[in-house]
A and B are shown apart, each in its own frame.
Chain A
Amino acid sequence: MELKGRTINGGDVEGEAVVLREPFSFTGDFDFNAGTLIIRDHPLFGQKIAGKILIIPIGKGAVNAPIGLYKAQKRGNAPAAIICRKADPLTVECALTVDIPIMDSFDRDPIETIKTGDRVKIKGDEGVIAIED
């Protein structure tokens, strides 16, 4: 299955999806030393997002979030790409800081369509993400 959307920063990557249903922050919800989610009382607490495709409705958080993600990338702990239902300015800045693909505004809701663990292929330059069956 394919979803068409808007590419903000392009590139082709593939990886395993990690899907969150809540607004996400690289400052409060992410441990850049471990590359894992640290959202309290969340079923995905401890889930690794390093090298994976992070799928979120929208971002939130403190203005130093891009620095946290930069530190994560230096340790090999950044996600491979970020897919948003609607990208907020701070999440766009985060992705651009570490130069990973970021897309939003899809023809189908990525949160409802993609499940954690699905293999996802990002074809950023074509504005397409493909979910493998």
Chain B
Amino acid sequence: MILTKDEESMAEGKSGPGIERCMKLLIKYGEALGGERLVNVTSAHVFNGYPLDLLTELAEGADGSGAFTTLHPFMSLSDPSACEAMGISEKHYSPKNEEHEQKRQVYKRLGFFETYTCTPHLVGNLPKKGDFVSWFGSGVQLVANSIIGAKQNRDGAVVNMAIALTGKAPLQGLYLDENRYAEVLVEVGDVDLAQLSTTDYGAIGYYVGGRAQDKNTVIDGLSRSMTLDQIKYLLTPMSTSGAVSICHIVGVTPEAPELKAALGNKAPKEKIHVGKREISSTIETFSHAKSEVDLVLFGCPHCSIQELKEIAIGLQNKKVGMNQRLWIGTAHQTYDLAQTMGYSQIIEKAGGTVARTCMATLPDCPIPEDVKVIVTNSFKTAHYVSAISRGRIEPIIGHLEACVQAAVTGRWEGEC
């Protein structure tokens, strides 16, 4: 690999043993993948679940980060302000928070921004089209590649940290334009685009992920009037049922003003049709005619301020049922804004809990034993709750308003 003088000196240990180790790792990693040189990375978003000793080793001697770096949420429920309401014991969260305090000292030294969210682009970490980035979180990687047009590989957690610390990454994979074109074409047809709900978008993403697997994908036939929240629910499940890293949306993705640009002027290797039948059969994977509801869950990925507003509107002058729980995950910055706007007060007064933590690893914490049925608007949540609880908990998918309604009445009426 060809290195600049600066990169050579970093690899020789002139910036400390941590940077030396990170550089050597990135160079060998890049060589294995055919990278001919390193590039400068402008934005990083890093995992927050490193063992303290590994974090300390990688950052040894470093007094700053190499790129603008934000942090992913706690990988266990450890927002003490919410734990009591969620019935999570201090014995469970206290040791995790103690270790986290020690890691915070390292983050502070490095200048990592303590965002603790899976949606860094919503709290100020917003790269430009064409920027090289390394973001942790499979859902938001899709956002970086497909909506922002920044260049992102599916880096593992250690490469991700090495890139953040050094600000360098090997030029390979999806960093190269020729590797970003789509092979799989998804054609959306026989649906009324104006009638598509957020749940429908989630179903399209979940269906496509299961078929496209890890292949570059393009979706044609969707409306440009989709909101960012709808796009979030469309993209996220593609990395749950599959491992798609880039999904061009014709007319939305900066690199895909039209279909042929997304395909690199070639014919697609594979075509997938998505219509009414595919959408409804995918929703049926997690649907239920009528049921009692124990827990309503929002926030994987983290709720946006618009979603918190919609939830608050649905709960105005209402109460969450006596035997129901309503848990909502969001970034602490978004929570602050929701407080300024009065949304969190409405939600909390109604008996809901807004936790500034990660909802994806919720089954990692003791979900109360009496929870048998969960209602959610997120296919990612439904998928993981079902898989990690090994069938103990049944997830139901529904539209945000219907989920809020279920929290109030305690009943799922079978309308998604």
- Least CB distance from B158 to A in Å reads 4
Interface-facing stretch out of B43-51, B107-115, B350-358, B393-401: B43-51
Binds B, one of A41-49, A67-75, A111-119: A67-75
Kindly identify which residue among A66, A71, A89 contacts B154, using a CB–CB cutoff of 8 Å.
Answer: A89
Q: What is the predominant secondary structure among interface residues of chain A facing chain B?
A: helix
Stretch from B28-36, B189-197, B215-223 that touches the partner: B28-36
Query: Binary interface profile of A, 44-76, with partner B (CB < 8 Å = 1, else 0)?
Result: 000000000000000000011111001100100
Q: CA–CA, A87 to B32, complex, Å?
A: 8
Interface-central residue, B47, B49, B154, B158, by most chain A CB under 10 Å:
B158
- B47: nearest residue on chain A (CB-CB)? A64
Residue of A nearest to B154 (CB): A63
Q: List, in ascending order, chain B residues with CB within 8 A of A33's CB.
A: none
Question: B28: which A residues are within 8 A, CB to CB?
Answer: 8-9, 92, 96
Separation of A94 and B28 alpha carbons in the complex (Å): 12
* Interface of B, helix, strand, loop or mixed by DSSP: helix
A92 and B33: CB pair below 8 A?
yes
B229: shortest Cβ distance to chain A, in Å?
25
Find out whether the CB atom of A67 lies under 8 angstroms from the CB atom of B54.
Answer: yes
Q: How many residues of B contact A (CB 8 A)?
A: 23
Q: Are A63 and B51 in contact (CB under 8 A)?
A: no
A residues less than 8 Å from B155 (CB atoms): 63, 89, 93
Is B173 engaged at the interface, CB distance under 8 Å to the other chain? yes
CA distance A9 to B155 in the complex (A): 18
Q: Is A90 an interface residue (CB 8 A)?
A: yes
Docked complex Cα distance between A50 and B302 (Å) = 38
Residue B157 at the A interface, CB < 8 A? yes
Interface contact A70-B33, CB-CB below 8 Å: no
Q: Which of B29, B53, B54, B154 contacts A96 (CB 8 A)?
A: B29
What range describes how many residues of A lie at the interface? 10 to 19
Give the one of B32, B33, B49 with max A CB within 10 A: B32
- Asked if B76 CB lies within 8 Å of chain A CBs, one says no
Contact of B25 among A65, A87, A97 (CB under 8 A): A97
B residues whose Cβ falls under 8 Å from a Cβ of A: 25, 28-29, 31-33, 47, 49-51, 53-54, 136, 138, 153-160, 173
What 10 A-B pairs come out closest when comparing CB atoms? A66-B158, A93-B156, A8-B32, A63-B156, A97-B158, A92-B32, A64-B157, A96-B25, A66-B156, A90-B156
Binding site for B on A (CB under 8 A): 8-9, 63-67, 70-71, 74, 87, 89-90, 92-94, 96-97
Query: What are 27 A-B residue pairs whose CB atoms fall within 8 Å in the complex?
Result: A8-B28, A8-B31, A63-B138, A63-B154, A63-B156, A64-B156, A65-B156, A65-B157, A66-B156, A66-B157, A67-B54, A70-B51, A70-B54, A89-B29, A89-B32, A89-B33, A89-B154, A90-B156, A92-B28, A92-B33, A93-B25, A93-B29, A93-B155, A93-B156, A93-B159, A96-B158, A97-B25
Further pairs besides A8-B31, A92-B32, A92-B33: 17, Cβ < 8 Å: A63-B136, A63-B138, A63-B157, A64-B49, A64-B156, A65-B157, A66-B158, A70-B51, A70-B158, A74-B51, A89-B29, A89-B33, A89-B156, A89-B159, A93-B159, A94-B156, A96-B28
